[in-house]
Amino acid sequence: MKEKIRQLAKEKNAIILAHNYEPPEIQDIADLCGDSLELSIKASKTKADVIVFCGVHFMAETASILSPEKTILLPNTDAGCPMADMVDPVALTAKKQALGDIPVVTYVNSSAAVKAVSDICCTSANVIKVVNSIDADEILMTPDKNLAKYAAANTYKKVHLWDGYCPFHNILSAKDINKAKKDHPKALFIAHPECPPEVLALADSIQSTSGMIKFAGQSDHKSFILGTETGLLYPISKAYPDKKFYPASEKMYCQDMKKITLENLASSLENLTGEIKVPEDIRKDALGAVQKMINL
């Protein structure tokens, strides 16, 4: 199956991109694994004709926004993001207007239609830089309230929240962390900014998924508790086999990030099925917000 996928990728001039939460066999076969920011940058620069996105719907949409001339495939189109579904363009526009038309910063974990009514996008890797780059004293951040609270703690701007969250990061509690620290007293705790503030307050470092991999590599410590989706355990343990990594909680398991299989990946590549194409009127409006982030 793996040989067949690599052969098909060559024949179709396709690049396979995988998020750090994807199943191990998918990460192993990909041309590039990374966090949302790294994957969007790669999607904007590749010379391939086809981009196969092993991730969730909003990631494939972002690739379509950046590369409309390419064929973008999502091998299982049911792979969505519950947090992205917590905001829609009509409600967002109404809230923006009610707040006096202040700039909207939208997490890339959102639909293209939501990006189209936003001023700039951000990811977990660049949120503070993006927020501080805006020429306004007040902003509205959507959809992740935890990411917005993290940004608010790192800027002088007033940050208005949207009541969205990642169900798998939001369930992590201070109690879970205190238990994990008790079980692994020598380990550093690295948290993803999608976690609630009470969890971030206990973190030794706050990082995106690829940021966690880099942080673990640069640290003298030998063990780490990871406050993120458990899929990250695979690439981080592979990168540093001599270090130990423990999940902050086994409850942090995103089913949508496990919907790409070798079988549906091969079939999508062979038949060019699962195409994601953002309609041109939405794409044009969404591009401004995504491109501003990439430029920054």
* Binding footprint of ligand SF4 on the chain (CB under 6 A): 56, 81-83, 109, 166-168, 229, 254, 256-257
Query: Binding segment for ligand 13P among 122-130, 172-180, 213-221, 279-287 (CB under 6 A)?
Result: 122-130
Q: Tell me if 62 contacts ligand 13P by CB under 6 A.
A: no
User: Hunting for tokens 């947090």 — which residue is that?
Assistant: 83
Q: Tell me if 40 contacts ligand 13P by CB under 6 A.
A: no
Contacts with ligand 13P: how many residues (CB under 6 A)?
A: 13
User: What backbone phi and psi angles, to 5 degrees, belong to 249?
Assistant: -160, 135
Q: How many CA atoms lie within 13 A of 36 on its CB side?
A: 24
- Shortest separation between residue 166's beta carbon and ligand SF4, angstroms: 3
Work out what residue 168 binds among ligand SF4, ligand 13P, none; the CB cut-off runs from 5 to 8 Å by kind.
ligand SF4
Q: Tell me if 126 contacts ligand 13P by CB under 6 A.
A: no
- Shortest separation between residue 169's beta carbon and ligand 13P, angstroms: 7
- Shortest separation between residue 211's beta carbon and ligand 13P, angstroms: 7
Q: Measured from the CB atom, is 168 or 234 closer to ligand SF4?
A: 168
Task: Report the alpha-carbon distance of residue 86 to residue 109 in Å, rounded.
Answer: 10
Q: Measured from the CB atom, is 108 or 152 closer to ligand 13P?
A: 108
**Binding ligand 13P by CB under 6 A: which of 106, 111, 124, 146?**
124
Cα-Cα-Cα-Cα dihedral sign, residues 75, 81, 129, 64: positive
Q: Tell me if 208 contacts ligand 13P by CB under 6 A.
A: yes
- Shortest separation between residue 216's beta carbon and ligand 13P, angstroms: 14
Q: Tell me if 146 contacts ligand 13P by CB under 6 A.
A: no
Q: Measured from the CB atom, is 148 or 254 closer to ligand SF4?
A: 254
Q: Tell me if 71 contacts ligand 13P by CB under 6 A.
A: no
Query: Binding segment for ligand 13P among 120-128, 133-141, 196-204, 217-225 (CB under 6 A)?
Result: 120-128
- Shortest separation between residue 9's beta carbon and ligand 13P, angstroms: 23
Q: Tell me if 111 contacts ligand 13P by CB under 6 A.
A: no
- Shortest separation between residue 288's beta carbon and ligand 13P, angstroms: 21
Residue 36, token pair as written in the block: 């949302």
Could you list the residues that contact ligand 13P (CB under 6 A)?
A: 20, 35-37, 109, 123-125, 166, 192, 194, 208-209
